[in-house]
Structure 1
Amino acid sequence: MNQFKAIFLSSIDANDPRSNLKRVANSQKCIRMGGKHCDLENVGINFRHHTFFEMLGNWSFGDYFKKEAIEMAWDLLCNIFKLDTHRMFVTYFGGCNSLCLKPDEESKEIWQSLGLPKNKIIPLGIEDNFWEMGETGPCGVCTEIHYLLEPTPYDADAETLLRNSIEIWNLVFMQYEKLGNNQLKSLPKCHVDTGMGLERMTSVVQGVNSNYDTELFSPLFDLIEKKTGAPPYRGTLKDPIDIAYRILADHSRMFTVAIADGVIPDGTNAGHCLRRVIRRALMKARFVFKQELPADLLTLLTEAVAKTLNDPYPEIAENLYDIKGIVNRETKKFNRSIKRASELFGKMLDTSSNTFSGKNALQLHFQYGMPEDIIEEFAVHYDVKVDWNEFNDLYESYSTRKQNSSDVNQT
């Protein structure tokens, strides 16, 4: 929502072409690799997380508000997407004493008017049904629409409903600006900001329980299987090969889109995040799918990603030559260090233990520039557990000594 923040705060320049917007619908490419939300470590180990995804949204800038937003959302889900109304329920803001906010009775009554039974209109607290960017900025209560993954008794309680469902749409009602010290100030106008994850909604519409079982990912899985000779993707949660399928498919989408949008892998900021994702994909291609030339697989995947996303994002195919060139160059850099890193890791192993010491992990991190996630990939390959507690203790001690030394040098 950053592109519309100035509209919410009524601080947008009158000459800005966005200043006259009243209603907007969009699909936004999103990458989650840092800040408040970072999904990297969750990718592969479950069926829902991604480093790259598309967020669908509709916006109202001082135009329609709660009634119209809720009614339009329900109409789309029920009459256009044809979702089973018995498998949907909603949550709304139940109030917060610390912010001096009462329950959102208006949203509750609107949902009741649409025919939802009382047990499927659930009040929740600030952690679930109050949306904010950060410590300060535009914010407001929200109502979330959930979809049950399997048929559930009509009279199921709130705990059962929440446990057996996924959130498919969040409708945020921007009414406030959060100031310091937990103070809220009413915005000059009321706005609507909604968010629906395309991958998650696709899984619901196509009737599957995993984002990765949709047509968004199946072409990538087919390519991986054909190129590597690996067993077909089975959609299991724990199998290392299935986990690697999900990581490789997700990461190939992320780095293809990021490079097409102008991000270059390097050692700082967004470039560093991109490099981590490419290298994590290379590790899976090399160690799980046994590819001696993992760049070949990754460049083929960029072609498949460009094809699957060609209609909404033709710029990916237009930049495919450059994308493949950047992936190949990054692979060559990584290959020069990966052989040496593998040898070092192997030499550091204690054959009498299934634990890789935090001290050795720290040495690999500082002396050889090996990120923690790559160390973890080596540990999985060698079937050992890294002592991350020892690593973190030593890292903190090192950081403290370094800071103290810096303070002394400045005096």
Structure 2
Amino acid sequence: MKSQDIRSKFLSFFKEKKHSIVPSAPMVLKDDPTLMFVNSGMAPFKEYFLGNAQSKNSRISDSQKCLRVSGKHNDLEEVGYDTYHHTLFEMLGNWSFGDYFKKEAIAWAWELLTEVYGIDKEILYVTVFEGSDDTDNLPMDTEAYDIWKQYIAEDRILKGDKKDNFWEMGEQGPCGPCSEIHVDIRSAEEKAKIPGKDLVNQDHPHVVEIWNLVFMQYNRKANGSLEDLPDKHIDTGMGFERLCMVLQGVQSNYDTDVFIPLIREIETIAKMKYGKVEDVDVAIRVIADHVRAVAFSIADGQLPSNTGAGYVIRRILRRAIRYGFTFLDKKEAFIYRLVDVLSKKMGTAFPELKAQKQLIENVIKEEEQSFLRTLDQGLVLLNRIVEETKGDTVSGEKVFELYDTYGFPIDLTALILSEKELKLDEKGFDAELQKQKNRSRAASEMSTDDWTILFDDAEEEFIGYDTLEANVKLTRYRKVVSKKDGEMYQLVFNITPFYPEGGGQVGDKGYLEDAHGDVIYILNTKKENNVIIHFAKNLPKHIEETFKVVVDSKQRYRTECNHTATHLLHQALREVLGTHVEQKGSAVHSKYLRFDFSHFSKLTVEELRDVENFVNARIAGKLPLIEKRNIPKEEAIADGAMSLFGEKYGDTVRAIRFGQSIELCGGTHVKNTADIWHFKIVSEGAVASGIRRIEAITNDAVKDFYFENNRAYFEMKDLLNNTKEPVKALQSLQEENTSLKKQIELLLKDKAKNIKGELKSELQDVNGIQFLAKKIDLDAGGIKDVAFELGSQFDNLFLLFGAEQNGKALLSCYISKELVASKELNAGQVVRELGKYIQGGGGGQPFFATAGGKNPNGINDALEKAKDYIE
């Protein structure tokens, strides 16, 4: 059975069971601070389990893209070494929100596996929760046990502990016992040796869990205690890749038609065969897995970067690159070539792959080329570390610096060192790595109390499109303590005019005032699992009274100008550059806007001017806001509204129109484009291959921009004696400056020649070495030229020159290469040690190195110490 048919049969089965089939949500989460990525099938529905929203359908089924590479659920380092762990995987799931429970979930799972898919009942095992005698003191799940007895022999129903059979989404929140379904696909000979039940949950590659049925019935509180949920829910997840392995009769996920096309393409590119050499096989599995994770992430709008979710994606891709570099001998970019195969294989089920194919290829290729350059630089630095190593063990601290600062992989370092018959100080490296982790953990450490509920079942409504003030009731609050922000309170109101951060737009600020005149400032507003949360340093004194809340109108207005301008900018770019332009991210603040978009080249001056003029023409056109709220998404799209890849839209949406600009958007906007006053681009540049970024300003920021430029213009004119043609005057000064520079260069060259002649006569023979330590009046470039010219004329040369420039000290050391080899002298080591006399430091190559410092008075002491190296 082909993988497409397996997925299709699953969804069709649950559609017949009256489930609504929904598309996969984007993997990158935007309103859940506890998760970077969707790491399980239930994550997109978390708000329903938490009771923060009501699902339109009480029964849902889908195939959800998931990524497990960070936090509690982290499979990254296992990927490639076994046959069933992945970074990106599909989770087939069926969900019940307060509808059916254990009886139906178990019956349907058994029917689908054994009757629809035809899996032999004799190779299946199930597990149930055995109970716990710890602080939770939970009973055994006898209800699930009794239901399973109707379908499978009791000796195949195994009891599991909390680790395996009690599912929790995190330290707090909904949880409950679960039943796992495991499959034993070993040969008859292997089964005769060891019963399958002895290998369940023992990480055996051929006795694996394929489906987990979670019975959500408890809520874990901040103090660790459990309480019953008001409604009971079903959350199931079946690993699509593992199911394909079972139904296609193979012994590895990588032998299914999900991965085989990618593996064949890697074999062709690398000119190596899969299944012959273990290291090569691991590398091929790593690459086949990782390209899927990276491609889907980019399609969902997450580009590789140095922070947050982007850093995780970059790390996955770099892991794939280094496996190709080390084990497939691929020293040039090649992973991007796999995207075509991937989009053909999975593009029907996930159309975003086809739509974003060119962008995905461009981004991956640029990342590959960049990291391969890093590897080349790292090899040079590693060779230098090896040269400076005395003994057979390389400093863990230096290797960590190579890993942390330059991104050079530690496993590659260890491999190279072993080839050179050197050891890595692993304890030293681990100690430095732990220090970094501790710093990172301390910076992000946070504790969150349970919500204190003041009004249960209170409706929470956003009214900020229509008003900036309201009389509200506090419905719940909790205290949050973090290293970064200290003690904060998160407040939730029954209604709120405060816009929560989202869609690139910053959250509103403002204040809360009670009837007694006490004021508390709202410092930020965010949305978490469909709840609008207001951040404040203090808790109101009279928490059960009615409060007046007021949004900072000036910040909101400026932000609205910038948000509306992003819509007009998007339209302008598509008009000026072409309809291939699509928004790839935005940041809308009160002071400026940032807009990322797909385009293949730098914008010309004329294109930037045309874009600005297009936007300003719409501002001058005084286009009114035409807003449609809570309309079906299909209706908005049919009306011409643009939707963005990577955004999660509900069944109903809000459409924003200014003239011919129509977009799906939840942000706030001006009532008329005339309110923006003016639009000005301040920068344009590349973010990644095929992705450009424009930063721009509107309204008051434009006024400030022109005021500052006007002030700078008149200051420049004043310096140019108020000439009527300042541009010509500047050009004249530049020409004069260029001419004078050339004259100075000639003078310095003559000066260096004269100094070189003097220095020849001052060379001393010390133990067969031509030695000279002297302070000279040249810049760094002149000193280097003199040193190398003398080096070309004299053998066994040791030079140390000192110089003072602009109140700073400079040391330059030159050592003939024959001395470096025969006497083990090292110019880099010399300047590092002598640098302490000038209160500085430096480095370089063994034959030439420089050091800078802030104490020119120490130059003579350094020069005097130079002879110690050769005496």
Same fold (TM over 0.5): yes
| Cα distance change, pair 378–215 in 1 and its aligned pair in 2 (3 A) | farther
SS at structure 1 position matched to 2:223? helix
| CA apart distance, 1:155 | 10
Measured in 2, the distance between the counterparts of 1:9 and 1:399 equals 31
The residue that corresponds to 1:370 in the other structure is 407
Greater shift in the superposed pair: 162-171 or 26-35: 162-171
**Structure 1 contact 61–192 (Cα < 8 Å) conserved:** yes
User: Which amino acid is the alignment partner of residue 116 of structure 2?
Assistant: I
Normalised to the residue count of structure 2, the TM-score between the two structures is 0.43
The residue that corresponds to 1:145 in the other structure is 181
The residue that corresponds to 2:289 in the other structure is 250
**Structure 1 contact 9–187 (Cα < 8 Å) conserved:** no
The residue that corresponds to 2:414 in the other structure is 379
Structure 1 or 2: more helix by fraction:
1
Superimposed CA distance per residue, residues 43-97 of structure 1 (whole angstroms, 9 cap, x where no aligned partner): 1111111111111110011111101100000000000111111010111011112
The residue that corresponds to 2:36 in the other structure is none
| Cα distance change, pair 381–74 in 1 and its aligned pair in 2 (3 A) | farther
| Cα distance change, pair 375–160 in 1 and its aligned pair in 2 (3 A) | closer
Measured in 2, the distance between the counterparts of 1:11 and 1:399 equals 34
User: Which amino acid is the alignment partner of residue 389 of structure 1?
Assistant: K
User: Which amino acid is the alignment partner of residue 279 of structure 1?
Assistant: R
Give the 5 Å matches for 1:10-409: 10-12=51-53, 19-98=55-134, 99-114=136-151, 116-150=152-186, 151=188, 152=191, 156=195, 158-163=197-202, 165-230=207-272, 232-234=273-275, 239-293=278-332, 295=333, 297-349=334-386, 356-366=394-404, 368-370=405-407, 374-380=409-415, 383=418, 386-396=424-434
Measured in 2, the distance between the counterparts of 1:310 and 1:258 equals 14
| CA apart distance, 1:387 | 3.7
Measured in 2, the distance between the counterparts of 1:353 and 1:229 equals 39
Superimposed CA distance per residue, residues 259-300 of structure 1 (whole angstroms, 9 cap, x where no aligned partner): 11111111001111111122222222223222232x2x2121
**Structure 1 contact 24–60 (Cα < 8 Å) conserved:** yes
**Structure 2 contact 106–147 (Cα < 8 Å) conserved:** yes
| CA apart distance, 1:21 | 1.5
| Cα distance change, pair 398–274 in 1 and its aligned pair in 2 (3 A) | closer
| CA apart distance, 1:386 | 4.2
Measured in 1, the distance between the counterparts of 2:441 and 2:251 equals 49
* Larger RCO, structures 1/2 (Cα 8 Å, 6+ apart): 1
| Cα distance change, pair 321–397 in 1 and its aligned pair in 2 (3 A) | closer
Greater shift in the superposed pair: 94-103 or 77-86: 94-103
Superimposed CA distance per residue, residues 276-330 of structure 1 (whole angstroms, 9 cap, x where no aligned partner): 122222222223222232x2x2121111111111111111111111111111222
Superimposed CA distance per residue, residues 356-406 of structure 1 (whole angstroms, 9 cap, x where no aligned partner): 54223122134x3326xx1213423554664432212244467889999xx
The residue that corresponds to 2:744 in the other structure is none
Q: Establish whether residue 2 from structure 1 lines up as the match of residue 43 from structure 2.
A: yes
| CA apart distance, 1:117 | 1.6
| Cα distance change, pair 348–142 in 1 and its aligned pair in 2 (3 A) | same
The residue that corresponds to 1:15 in the other structure is none
Measured in 1, the distance between the counterparts of 2:111 and 2:437 equals 55
User: Which amino acid is the alignment partner of residue 253 of structure 1?
Assistant: R
Greater shift in the superposed pair: 384-393 or 91-100: 384-393
Structure 1 or 2: more strand by fraction:
2
**Structure 2 contact 200–208 (Cα < 8 Å) conserved:** no
Superimposed CA distance per residue, residues 128-182 of structure 1 (whole angstroms, 9 cap, x where no aligned partner): 1000011110000000111113243599484345545211100000001111232
**Structure 2 contact 127–160 (Cα < 8 Å) conserved:** yes
Measured in 2, the distance between the counterparts of 1:61 and 1:211 equals 32
Larger radius of gyration: 2
Q: Let me know the Cα RMSD of the aligned residues.
A: 2.7
SS at structure 2 position matched to 1:59? strand
Measured in 2, the distance between the counterparts of 1:156 and 1:55 equals 28
The residue that corresponds to 2:568 in the other structure is none
User: Which amino acid is the alignment partner of residue 304 of structure 1?
Assistant: V
| CA apart distance, 1:41 | 1.0
Q: State the aligned residue count.
A: 391
Measured in 2, the distance between the counterparts of 1:46 and 1:354 equals 34
User: Which amino acid is the alignment partner of residue 342 of structure 2?
Assistant: V
Measured in 1, the distance between the counterparts of 2:441 and 2:234 equals 46
